């Protein structure tokens, strides 16, 4: 990773909960119904146990007038930080090309 970041990026579910659901006074069941997904699926994302897929990014972007890239970038940043910090095995890989 190019940037040194000691704190992990927020999971997209955390952003969804605090910046969209709470201000709109939506619970997970209401939001899931509006998004056309199961309550369990959305609950996993909101609680940081599930990932935002491209399909979910499209649904979220339409529902909340954002871009799908916003949601996918949040997920990618979260995943990459954890891959970098949770495992050191990748550091044993040697450069193949110059």
pLDDT tens for residues 27-53? 999 999 999 999 999 999 999 999 999
Domain count, the chain: 1
Which tokens is 75 given? 């997920």
Q: Is residue 45 part of a domain?
A: yes
Q: What is the pLDDT of residue 47?
A: 98
CATH number of the domain that residue 52 is part of:
1.10.260.40
* CA gap 29, 76 in Å, rounded: 26
List the domain range (segments joined by +) for residue 49: 12-91
* CA gap 51, 71 in Å, rounded: 10
Q: How confident is the model at residue 75 (pLDDT cuts 50, 70, 90)?
A: very high
């Amino acid at each position: 990773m190019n940037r040194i970041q000691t704190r992990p990026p927020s999971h997209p579910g955390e952003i969804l909960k605090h910046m969209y659901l709470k201000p709109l006074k939506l619970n997970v069941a209401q939001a899931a119904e509006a998004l056309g997904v199961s309550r369990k699926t959305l609950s996993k994302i909101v609680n940081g146990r599930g990932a935002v897929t491209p399909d979910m990014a499209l649904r979220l972007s339409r529902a909340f007038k954002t871009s799908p890239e916003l949601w996918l970038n949040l997920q990618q940043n979260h995943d990459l930080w954890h891959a970098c910090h949770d495992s050191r095995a990748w550091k044993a890989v040697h450069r193949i090309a110059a």
